[in-house]
Amino acid sequence: MGFQRTGGKESQPYNAIAIGSQDRTITVWTTASARPLFVAKHFFSQSVVDLSCSPDGYSLFACSLDGTVATFHFEVRELGHRLSDVELEEL
């Protein structure tokens, strides 16, 4: 998903990327930062096997081999404003 922060000196668009791993960790990165935006550990007892974002880009769903599902919700102040499909095509 593409996002952009409003206000501030630079308002460059960026992507948000979520990664699930065998060590049961979920990490959310943005291409605007060298550090992760969010790290979730110990939500599952086995590997993370699938991740999916809601259509608006502000909810992340994760499931594990242990059969559980977790939902993480992000606010606009955390991720920025989601770029529309038209804005993404223009880029």
Which residues, other chains included, contact 85 with Cβ-Cβ below 8 Å and sequence gap of 6+? none
Q: What is the pLDDT of residues 8-50, one digit of tens each?
A: 556 788 989 999 999 999 999 998 889 999 999 988 999 999 9
- 78 belongs to a structural domain: yes
Give pTM, 2 decimals.
Answer: 0.83
SS3 68: coil
Q: What is the pLDDT of residues 40-84, one digit of tens each?
A: 998 899 999 999 999 999 999 999 999 999 999 999 988 889 988
Task: Check residue 65 and give its pLDDT.
Answer: 95
CA dihedral of residues 68, 31, 16, 13 (deg, nearest 10): 170
Number of domains composing the chain? 1
Task: Check residue 10 and give its pLDDT.
Answer: 62
- 90 belongs to a structural domain: no
- 89 belongs to a structural domain: no
- 53 belongs to a structural domain: yes
- 91 belongs to a structural domain: no
φ, ψ for residue 23, nearest 5 deg: -85, 15
The two three-digit tokens of residue 38, written as one number: 């969010």
Domain that residue 35 falls in:
2-82
CA dihedral of residues 80, 86, 88, 90 (deg, nearest 10): -120
